[in-house]
């Protein structure tokens, strides 16, 4: 099945060195407010180095137990998608899937959506979670 890109936004969720939280909320993303999300993918350090901010991309030791929760329809309807199941770029030994994760077009409340970690992380440097959002 062909997927046609209408619009795309690169989203970077920045984390400061030494952070120990297990839940990192997305900032408000004005460009994506009230937009219909149609697809989503994640990126690893093997693909991006560094992130657009200059931060390192969060290391695989952290991404191994990272989950994405998206707030939509007034609830957390998309809950704990394993981070690597959204990575579709084959690079090095990183886990990946072959196709883009497509969504039924729906609006996401980004400032209520987050990346959750299954254990307390060790961020040795300023880092970023990088996500590509396809929308219309």
User: First-to-last CA distance in the chain?
Assistant: 18
**What average pLDDT does this structure show over 22-35?**
95
Q: What is the dihedral of CA 69, 67, 49, 52, to 10 degrees?
A: 20
Question: Taking 90 as the threshold, does the pLDDT of residue 75 lie above it?
Answer: no
Which pLDDT score, from 0 to 100, does residue 96 have? 59
The answer to whether 56 and 128 are in contact (CB under 8 A) is: yes
Express each pLDDT in 40-64 by its tens digit: 999 999 888 899 999 999 999 999 9
User: Is pTM, for the whole model, over 0.85?
Assistant: yes
Confirm if 87 and 41 have CB atoms less than 8 A apart.
yes
Question: Which domains are delineated in the chain?
Answer: 7-135 (2.60.120)
User: How many CB atoms are closer than 10 A to CB 96?
Assistant: 19
């Amino acid at each position: 099945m062909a997927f046609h890109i209408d619009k795309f936004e690169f989203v970077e969720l920045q984390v400061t060195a030494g952070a120990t939280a297990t839940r990192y909320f997305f900032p408000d993303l004005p460009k994506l407010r009230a937009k219909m999300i149609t697809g989503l993918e994640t990126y690893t350090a093997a693909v991006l180095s560094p992130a657009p901010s200059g931060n390192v991309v969060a290391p695989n030791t952290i991404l191994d137990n990272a989950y994405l929760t998206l707030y939509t329809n007034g609830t957390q309807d998309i809950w704990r998608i394993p981070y690597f199941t959204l990575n579709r770029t084959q690079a090095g030994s990183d886990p990946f899937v072959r196709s883009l994760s497509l969504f039924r077009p729906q609006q996401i409340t980004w400032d209520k959506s987050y990346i959750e970690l299954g254990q307390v992380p060790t961020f040795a440097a300023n880092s970023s979670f990088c996500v590509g959002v396809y929308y219309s």
